[in-house]
Structure 1
Amino acid sequence: MCRIAAYTGPAIPLENIIVRPRHSLLTQSQHANEAKLAVNGDGFGISWYGQDERPGLYRDVLPAWADDNLTNLCRMVRSHLFIAHIRASTVGETSRANCHPFALGRWSFCHNGQIPHFGRIKRRMMAALPDALFDARRGTTDSEMIFLTMQAHGLDTDPAAAIAATLRDIGPEDASGPVKLTCVFSDGQGLFAFRHASSGDSPTLYLSGVLDNGGRAVASEPLCGMTDRWTALPCNMLCRITAEGVQTEEIGPSRAAALQAAE
């Protein structure tokens, strides 16, 4: 499983979240504690926001620990909102196009989990995309397809409804195994986080308390290595994290069923 770390608050160097903490995302790339694999070496990426509403994006196929450019970039770049991801691939080859985060317009998105039956629904999901979103697809992962499908379902105006409709399109689990989604994404104004599993446990995601500088972070594993200072985000609840606080909205089977009945 992949690992994620993100931040929103006063502008800080990216290294304060990605590199410097005792159990930073860079450390987790080789020593993850709450994943099936301790090593996540199939590429990495960062999206960050500045004056332009569109995020900056840096991705590569090297393991995070093997690229000196990553630590230098994180030392020099400051941002009030950023998302970082290290990849352990399940669907799609190791290529830059398949590295997270994915970005389109003002949105950036990353994912940890899998759709085990993606091979059987991929063509249907691709065909359902509007032409502009179909043409925007660059890679072969289920993660990018989730992002584009959320865009097709109105991510710009109602993220909760977009997630519910996307879960409906993915459908229930089958003999291949449970659907597992942990997503972190942003429009440059707020940081969104969501966990879901059709059965069993979804991949972990934690929310920090208010940091010393007034910001907040989310991460697959607590960055300080101490779980009592972090709160596990609940499943099937969309969390929107801003400087003002945390807002939650339930997303479950009832919401998806209501959307289907309305069509």
Structure 2
Amino acid sequence: MNGTMYMIELKRVLRDPASLFFIVAIPAFMFIIFGSTMEWADLKVGNGNIAMSTMIAMSAYGAATATSSISGMAAVEKTQGWGRQLALTPMKQSTYVMVKTALSMTIAAMPIGLIYLLGFILKSEATGMTWLLSAVILLVGSMMFALYGLIFGLFFKSDTGASVSSGILVILAFLGNLFVPLSGVMLTIGKLTPLYGYAALARYPLYEGTGYDMNGNEVDEPLWQALLNFGVWTAIFAILCVYLVRKGTKRV
């Protein structure tokens, strides 16, 4: 990987406070409001408490927003001519991909790190292994949303793609059981959406297959269900990316 380009790209992202606000500050603020100030935050669930569950959910939203934003930006750069400029340099395409991947994971680690720090300071409680495993799953699993962001960047070929993908991501986060515990038909629908599987995997070390709806009733969240959801949506996003790349190449 090209360390110089990575630092340039990182500094460029850090110079955009508006994007960082939505990626880092908003999920952290939502955790403080819904994860540590509510009276039910201390209630014990699984290997921890409700505050821990909310912490993981908000981290999932922040990480997904981060990776989708970076990948969408990369797609726009390529379609607007930056790829041709890089082709004039000795840098390989694989190096460009590695830099963007490392950048995505770095930015995704920001909301996860901040929210986990706030959780540690405030009311989040869980076993040490739950803290570690959930953080690793969040960071690695967020790469699925790099594909998600790439789809919008390739389709719109402008900054509009990032705005649309961010807006849709808010809806997906609600349906994915991140903002409020769903139940009934809404939960059934939510289990078919991409953020559900990602968040359920991250919360599995806490719940170990048993979640809770908005009424406090236990809800089965088996590991196979989360894995299937994550795997199917990753495949769908990957196929759409390949299709859009080939479509763009044919036009050229």
Q: TM-score, normalised by structure 1?
A: 0.27
More strand by share: 1
More helix by share: 2
Answer with 1 or 2: which has the greater Rg.
Answer: 2
Q: TM-score, normalised by structure 2?
A: 0.28
